[in-house]
Chains A and B, each alone.
Chain A
Amino acid sequence: MISWPNLISQLFNGLALGALLALISSGLTIIYGTLGVLNLAHGAMFMIGGYAGFVAYQYTESFILAVIAGSLFVMLLGVAMERLIIRHFYHRPHEDQLLVTFGLGICFVELVRLVFSSQSQIVPPPALFRGITNLGFMFYPTYRLAVVGIVAIALGALFLVLYRTRLGMIVRAGIEDSVMVDSLGINVYRVFMVVFGIGAMAAGFAGIVNAPVVSLTPGIGDDILVQTFVVVVIGGVGSFPGAILGGLIAGEIISVTSMFNPGYAYVMLFAAMTLVLVVRPHGLLGAQGRE
């Protein structure tokens, strides 16, 4: 049952899943780090990205346009959500923020279910990446390899935005101390809106990129949200490098455990999270600041 090619192919699967989780988690973690709001609708954002891309693909037959449409739509949705609802919750307790984002997530999922029904939808991979690739020692689906590359580029872009731009500097400063940033004369509320948009877009982008690997259902974001939480707890809340490290760890744990028995994937994931909580309560790369 366990052979080398099998193990290596699972490691590749883990890498692809881990890269996706890293991207989604970075979105969640920069939103939380900057705004102090944990977005429980983040899984729904992932799902909507997939559906928005699916619709765009139906009309254009172009995967690239689907990716762009999916990402932009979710970004705009994030901005609208922040403007209309989330900003009224900055000064309310954490519980209320959790409740309202949880409720919004349910509304999004049910709305999509109403429009597209519960049946699964399929987005084919782009022509360039169809088929399988011979890696010399094994065959592997080309698109899954491409996912790793596409997500790595997206993470690189996010890195550049966070570490090489003025906005990124404000965001990182805001994660450390948003009150201080506010008192320096920077309009944090505008920054909050942009960050929420970018964070949501990360999830939406992941959603459409992931769509050809799986089939789309309205509930697809629920499992991803739980996995994202584990990633963030392992990596450390508010830490971009932590989200990447945590994502890769979680992806590999899920894939490798699934090779032996899929039923234990979550158990192992949970065990890893517990271990981190006991040894390093603030996460592997987390700071002590936010709680």
Chain B
Amino acid sequence: MLKQRPFLTETLTAIGLIVAPFVLPHLGFAPNTVNRILVWGLFGLGFDILFGFTGLLSFGQSAFYGTGGFVAAYLLTRAGFSNVLGALVIGMIAAAATGYLIGLIALRRTGIYFAMITVAIAEVFFFVEFNPLSDFTGGENGLPGVPTPSFNLGFTTIHFTNGWSLYQFIALCYFVGVIIALRIVRSPVGAILSAIRDNPLRATAVGHNIHGYKLTAFVIAAAYAGFAGGLLGVLQAFMPPDAFTFDTSGQLVMQTAIGGRATLFGPLVGATVWLFLQDFLQSALGLGAAWKLVLGVVFVLLVCFLRGGIVGGISDLYRLASGRRKRTEDETEGDATDTEAKQESPSAPMLAKEVEHPAYSGPILKATGLTKRYGGLVANSDIDFSVDQGELRGIIGPNGAGKSTFFKMLTCEVAPTSGQIVFEGRDITGLKVTEVCQLGLTKSYQVNQLFTGLTVRENLTIAALAELRGKFRLDLFRTLAGVKGLTEQVEHTLALVNLTRRADTPVSELAYGEKRRLEIGLALATSPRLLLLDEPLAGMSPRERVETVELLKSIARGRTMIIIDHDMDSLFELVERVTVLQEGRVLVSGTPEEIKTNAAVQEAYLGGVHGEIAA
């Protein structure tokens, strides 16, 4: 919706900010209230990138808000620094640097640990500000006398004093903040942040260094917080110590959830509702201190029933009103083209990644003595395994034979207890799954690991980005369209896995067979030279199986593949050699014909080893 009209959001924001001083006074907003809302909105832009887009819920943003605020206020009041904008920027940098250090600690863990650690950190900052650093921060008195900005343009001096005059300065800061945030969200980094929120495991597996990206989001949020903190001091002509309190962090979280997460403007809307209700409930209804209880109840209800907050709710309504008609058209049209699309032969095979050292000509993968123990349980024991370049290898074995564990060790998701894995002549034992994927080895999962909140196209974009940009890159201001070769690679993969028609469908609306194809597509979009497929046919209807086998044949050209599956008819038709695993060991290897007639294999599958007959 936003992509079709470039700068639509930016333009609307600018118009809104320009019109506000003419409209809002009639709605009962004092200029000071509007300025406060903007400061919260700016604070929230960074927080929304961290929470809404990356999925990291921090309860410790007050630490950076306070740091930025007090550094700027100290410079302006005690250190004799006179350039307000310069002080704000220095405060922002100080907050970002603090954010980097804190991020190194807090991001060691995820989920609720992360939330708990950020709470603790914010509390520490509050106490440090009050006690050890009270000489610099004024302790509980704060820092009074923060000046307002003025700019000397040579011929005249513009001075932003207070009220609507100061609004101009703050609104400009907010506008720049919005532009930067929009660029970040629409950049490759922004796409990867959403992927981390949806499925960190897969984001890692397709080759992104997610720790680096999370730290990036954390620092961005800290920088926004620092700048907003500085503005608070300018706005009030006084830097209040309560900027550092846990309540500040809590209010930010609540405003963002009320307004709508992952919307960028949610925090602004939330702050508007918050400050308006606070005024309204306190003065108009005379509720006194009970206003916070009312807001708390509103917040809980919103979290329970309207997950997207106010902005999310409005855009859902909009979609419901405008989208229903469109969708029915789409669907009827889609059915008509369905059969045509199927008959189209898959387009040209997709090329695998360039080989780094083409001189190497040994087996593409060689595992020796691979063993994995879980306590007393031996999942894999002393497996020797070798696959030649361009080979199509099948792996079969009864349930519990250790096939999936074996795959996990090959892709370095799980470290082997002992043994060695060599990929294209390079020892990859002990590397991380991200690095191995970057080298050109990845797998599709037995249980779908998709980015369920994103569309099919966005899913493949995430995977393709890892191949085109490497595991970590800070191209925060580049557009997705600016990544060379991305569109081609995504379109190509879409065509290969026959999902072109469904490109803009959210994953949650796909049929099971389509999800399975996307799962393979995610692995394929990283252009692996060695592709492992863990039960690609599992759960498919007979017709889907036939189609998927054709798909696998077409992607096998120019690439090596190892496939685990229980569907032996399909597998034997597809592969050149088969390895049979049983009880964590290699039972036998050979051509499909040899395996079919092998007595030991038949016995293993009929359970003869234990003297039982399978039903």
**A-side interface residues toward B, CB under 8 Å?**
32, 38, 85, 88, 92-96, 98-100, 102-104, 106-107, 110-111, 113-114, 118, 222-223, 225-226, 229-230, 232-233, 237, 261-267, 269-270, 273-274, 277-278, 281, 291
Give every chain B residue within 8 A of A118 (Cβ-Cβ).
289
Pick from B59, B131, B299: contact of A106, CB below 8 A: B299
Shortest distance between the CB of A178 and any CB in chain B (Å): 15
B587 at the interface (CB under 8 A from A): no
| CB-defined contacts of A114 to chain B, threshold 8 Å | 289-290, 293
Distance in Å: Cβ of B371 to nearest Cβ of chain A: 20
Most chain-B Cβ atoms within 10 A of its Cβ — which of A92, A222, A265, A266? Answer: A266
Given contacts A92-B307, A113-B293, 14 further A-B contacts (CB under 8 A): A95-B57, A98-B112, A98-B115, A226-B123, A229-B116, A233-B116, A233-B117, A261-B131, A262-B131, A263-B130, A263-B132, A267-B124, A269-B120, A281-B109
A263 interface neighbour in B111, B116, B131, Cβ under 8 Å: B131
Q: Are A291 and B111 in contact (CB under 8 A)?
A: yes
Q: Give B553 Cβ to nearest chain A Cβ, in Å.
A: 37
B120–A273 touching, CB < 8 Å: yes
Query: Which of A103, A113, A230, A281 meets B303, CB within 8 Å?
Result: A103
B244 within 8 A of A: no
Q: Which of B109, B120, B250 has the most CB of A within 10 A?
A: B120
B127 at interface (Cβ–Cβ under 8 A)? Answer: yes
Q: How many residue pairs at the A-B interface have CB separations less than 8 Å? A: 121
Residues of A within 8 A of B299 (CB): 99, 103, 106
A-B contact pairs, 29 of them (CB 8 A): A32-B112, A85-B300, A88-B304, A94-B57, A94-B111, A96-B303, A99-B57, A99-B253, A100-B304, A103-B254, A106-B292, A107-B293, A107-B296, A110-B292, A114-B293, A118-B289, A222-B246, A226-B119, A230-B120, A233-B113, A233-B116, A233-B120, A237-B113, A261-B131, A263-B128, A264-B127, A264-B132, A269-B120, A273-B120
Report yes or no: B289 in contact with A113, Cβ–Cβ below 8 A: yes
Q: Closest 9 CB pairs between A and B?
A: A263-B131, A110-B293, A229-B116, A103-B300, A106-B296, A38-B112, A107-B296, A270-B124, A266-B127
* Chain B residues positioned under 8 Å from A85 (CB to CB): 300, 304
Contact bitstring B212-250, A, C-beta under 8 A = 1, else 0: 000000000000000000000000000000000010001
Find chain B residues with CB under 8 A from A104 CB.
296, 300
Give the docked Cα–Cα distance between A115 and B105 (Å). Answer: 41
How long is the Cα–Cα vector from A229 to B115 in the complex, in angstroms? 9
Chain B residues near A233 (CB, 8 Å)? 113, 116-117, 120
- In the assembled complex, the Cα of A264 lies from the Cα of B117 at a distance in Å of 18
Complex Cα spacing A281 to B105, Å: 10
CA of A95 to CA of B198 in the docked complex: distance in angstroms? 12
Flag if A111 contacts B293 (CB, 8 Å). yes
Q: Nearest CB to that of B299 among chain A residues?
A: A103
User: Which B-chain residue is minimally distant from A113 (CB atoms)?
Assistant: B289
Give the distance to chain A from B293, nearest Cβ to Cβ, in Å.
4
Chain B contacts to A: CB under 8 angstroms: 51, 55, 57, 59, 105, 108-113, 115-117, 119-121, 123-124, 127-128, 130-132, 246, 250, 253-254, 257, 289-290, 292-293, 296-297, 299-300, 303-304, 307
A226 to B109, CA, bound (A): 17
Task: Please measure, in the bound complex, the distance between the C-alpha atom of A94 and the C-alpha atom of B197, giving whole angstroms.
Answer: 11
Q: In the assembled complex, how far is the CB of residue A257 from the closest CB belonging to chain B, in whole angstroms? A: 11
Q: Which B residues lie within 8 Å of A230 (CB)?
A: 116, 120
B124/A102 in contact, CB under 8 A: no
Cα separation A277 to B116 with both chains bound (whole Å): 12
B115: chain A residues at CB < 8 Å are 38, 94, 98
The distance in angstroms between the C-alpha atoms of A32 and B112, with both chains bound, is: 9
In angstroms, Cα B123 to Cα A291, docked, is 23
Q: With A263-B132, A273-B117 known to touch, is A107 a contact of B300 (CB < 8 Å)? A: yes
With A and B bound together, what is the CA distance between A111 and B123 in angstroms?
A: 24
Across the interface, do B116 and A291 meet the contact criterion of CB distance under 8 Å?
no
A110-B292, A263-B131, A267-B132 in contact; A277/B300 too (CB < 8 A)?
no
Whether B127 and A267, one on each chain, are in contact in the complex, defined by CB atoms closer than 8 angstroms, is yes
Which residues of the partner chain A approach B120 to less than 8 Å between Cβ atoms?
226, 229-230, 233, 269-270, 273
Q: CA of A278 to CA of B108 in the docked complex: distance in angstroms?
A: 8
A265 / chain B contacts, CB cutoff of 8 Å: 127
| A262 CA / B303 CA spacing, docked (Å) | 38
A148 to B293 alpha-carbon distance, docked (Å):
35
Chain B interface mostly: helix
Closest-by-CB residue of A relative to B116 is A229
In angstroms, how far is the closest chain A Cβ from the Cβ of B285? 14
Minimum Cβ distance to chain B for residue A209 (Å): 24
Name the distance in Å between A97's Cβ and chain B's nearest Cβ: 8
Q: How far is the CB of A274 from the nearest CB of chain B, in Å?
A: 6
Report the separation of the CA atoms of residues A151 and B246 in the bound assembly, to the nearest whole angstrom: 29
Residues A100 and B300 in contact, CB atoms below 8 Å apart: yes
Cα A111 to Cα B290 in complex, Å, equals 8
Are B304 and A263 in contact, CB atoms less than 8 angstroms apart? Answer: no
Question: When the two chains form their complex, are residues B246 and A226 in contact, meaning their CB atoms are under 8 A apart?
Answer: yes
Determine the distance from Cα of A96 to Cα of B567 in the docked complex, in whole angstroms.
Answer: 41
Q: Known contacts A85-B304, A100-B303; is A277 also within 8 Å of B108 by CB?
A: yes
Residue of A with least CB distance to B261: A95
Name the residue on B nearest A222 (C-beta). Answer: B246
Question: When A222-B246, A263-B130, A263-B131 are in contact, do A237 and B290 touch as well, CB less than 8 Å?
Answer: no
How many angstroms between the C-alpha atoms of A68 and B109 in the bound complex? 38
CB pair B113–A291 under 8 Å, yes or no, is yes
How far, in Å, is A278 (CB) from chain B's closest CB? 8
Residues in A neighbouring B59, C-beta threshold 8 A: 102
Residues A277 and B117 in contact, CB atoms below 8 Å apart = yes
Residues of B within 8 A of A222 (CB): 246
Minimum C-beta distance from A208 to chain B (A): 23
Tell me the bound Cα distance from A189 to B307 in angstroms: 24
Taking a contact as CB atoms under 8 Å apart, the answer to whether A263 and B112 are in contact is no
A contact residues around B289 at 8 Å (CB): 110, 113-114, 118
- Once the chains are docked, how many angstroms separate the CA of A289 from the CA of B111? 13
List of A residues within 8 angstroms of B110 by Cβ: 291
Residues from chain A with a CB closer than 8 A to the CB of B128 are 263, 266-267
Query: Could you tell me if B112 and A102 are in contact, using CB atoms closer than 8 angstroms?
Result: no
Minimum CB distance partner of B127 in chain A? A266
Query: Which of A32, A98, A225 meets B57, CB within 8 Å?
Result: A98
Cα distance, A91 to B501, chains bound together (Å): 31
Given contacts A110-B290, A110-B296, contact A281 B131 (CB under 8 A): no
> Complex Cα distance A100/B307, Å?
11
Query: How far, in angstroms, from A197 to B103 measured CA to CA in the complex?
Result: 35
When distances are taken between beta carbons in the complex, the residues of chain B under 8 Å from A110 are 289-290, 292-293, 296
CA A103 to CA B309, docked complex, whole Å: 14
Q: Please, which residues of chain B bring their CB within 8 A of the CB of A99?
A: 57, 253, 257, 299, 303
Determine if A96 and B307 form an interchain contact, defined as CB atoms under 8 angstroms apart.
yes
Beta-carbon nearest neighbor of B57 in chain A: A95
Taking the closest CB of chain A, its distance from the CB of B567, in whole angstroms, is 26
Contacts of A32 in B (CB 8 A): 112
Q: Which residues of B contact A95 (CB under 8 A)?
A: 51, 55, 57
CA gap between A277 and B110 in the complex, in Å: 12
Contact in complex: A107, B304 (CB < 8 Å): no
How far apart are the CA atoms of A113 and B296 in the complex, in Å?
Answer: 13
Chain B: minimal CB distance from A34 (Å):
14
A106 to B295, CA, bound (A): 9
Contacts of B119 in A (CB 8 A): 225-226, 229
Question: In the bound complex, what is the Cα–Cα distance between A38 and B105 (angstroms)?
Answer: 20
The answer for the CA separation of A65 and B127 in the assembled complex, in Å, is: 37
